[in-house]
Amino acid sequence: MGKPLNKSKLAHSANTAIQSVGALLIALILGAVILLLTGANPLGAYGAILKGSVGSMSAFINTLIQTTPLMFTGLSYLFAAKAGLVNLGMEGQMLCGAMGAAVAGAWDLGLPKFVHLPLAILVGVLAGGLYGLIAGLLKAKFGANEYIVTLMLNYVATLLMSYLANGPLRPEGEINVATAPVLETAQFTKLVKNRGLTAALFIAVTLSVLVHFFLDRTKPGYEIRAVGRGRLASETAGINIARTTMLTMFISGGLAAMAGVSMVLGVNGRYIEGFSPGYGFNGIAVSSLASGNPLMVGVSALIFGALRAGAMVLNMTQRIRPEFADMIQALVVIFVAMPALFQVVKTRAKKPETEPAKTAEKKEAN
């Protein structure tokens, strides 16, 4: 069932790689132009980003802390996209996952770590997965547009979690809007003392490989990709579209939930309202830059993670808001979504060969 690597596939992945790198470069250049227009110094700004992301061990740890949740949401978006679905509800699914993990993690059952931690992860993943399943179910049974359903469910999740963190789940006397601290037995092992870099990063890497394997080498994975290529054709071929849609949204939601789980059981040690700077939506950019290849999600997330970590120093020394990172991300998405732009570049590069064809075309048009 797995497709053998052939020449055209290789050429295809080389193409998409060029496109991704090109999009990133254009985004960075345009970012520099915008910095110039706002009166900032682009060289100083990018220097600060480098310093804040890879300039020291501590900076690189910050980069990896930022990379971890981005990997999960990147995988989440990518997974749904394989089935031709657009999951815009990753932020909400992530919040559900975070809250699920926070509740299970703070629950004192006297369990040892090797039971409690997986349990807390599982509860989080199930919470996010089931939340994603709502959109899948509505799509499969009633043909509801998943763009709208997932997007709107973000608000429901945000407000519901806000209510829980403000009300019933907030411990007595807590001054922040947050839940009770997660027990030691439910926390990810820290890779560096006192820092938010945890074993969750390994889970993210493992999951990218698993997702790749699942999509490429298993029957349900094949069905998901088939549905993504053509719903009607796969239905004719006997694939259960409804079931595939629901499965996809469940897994996609579960992957997004892992971002929240990693923040709660790793970085923050509890659910804090406003813990996410938009990791859910950032997943779209991560997946776009990885051009749909699960094995590239790690690289893509690392680039955006570095940008996010660097943005902190950028803010401190250059007085540029940390949202600069979001802007670059948005630019990348825009340019990745413009494959035609790169076709122009390519045809220009091959000009001598294609010139006759072009003139012929022109004549025809005239």
Instruction: Tell which one of 131, 308, 332, 342 touches another protein (CB under 8 A).
Output: 308
Part of the chain binding another protein (CB under 8 A), chosen from 32-40, 114-122, 211-219, 237-245? 32-40
Structure-block tokens of residue 274 = 């406003």
Please report, as residue ranges, which positions from 61 to 90 form the binding site for another protein (by CB under 8 A).
Answer: 62, 65
Part of the chain binding another protein (CB under 8 A), chosen from 14-22, 72-80, 88-96, 159-167? 159-167
Binding mask 252-271 for another protein (x = CB under 8 A): -----------x---xxxx-
145 lies in the site for another protein, by CB under 8 A: no
Part of the chain binding another protein (CB under 8 A), chosen from 33-41, 75-83, 129-137, 146-154? 33-41
CB of 261 to another protein, least distance (A): 13
Binding mask 268-287 for another protein (x = CB under 8 A): xxx-xxxxxxx---------
Per the rule left: phi > 0, alpha: psi between -120 and 50, beta: everything else, 292 is left
Instruction: Tell which one of 111, 144, 241, 341 touches another protein (CB under 8 A).
Output: 341
CB of 351 to another protein, least distance (A): 14
Instruction: Tell which one of 25, 148, 152, 316 touches another protein (CB under 8 A).
Output: 316
Please report, as residue ranges, which positions from 167 to 196 form the binding site for another protein (by CB under 8 A).
Answer: 167, 173-177, 194, 196
Part of the chain binding another protein (CB under 8 A), chosen from 104-112, 120-128, 294-302, 331-339? 331-339
Number of amino acids touching another protein (CB under 8 A)? 60
Residues in touch with another protein (CB under 8 A): 30, 34, 37-39, 52, 58, 62, 65, 162, 166-167, 173-177, 194, 196, 263, 267-270, 272-278, 308-309, 311-313, 315-317, 319-327, 330-331, 334-335, 338, 340-341, 344, 358, 361-362, 365
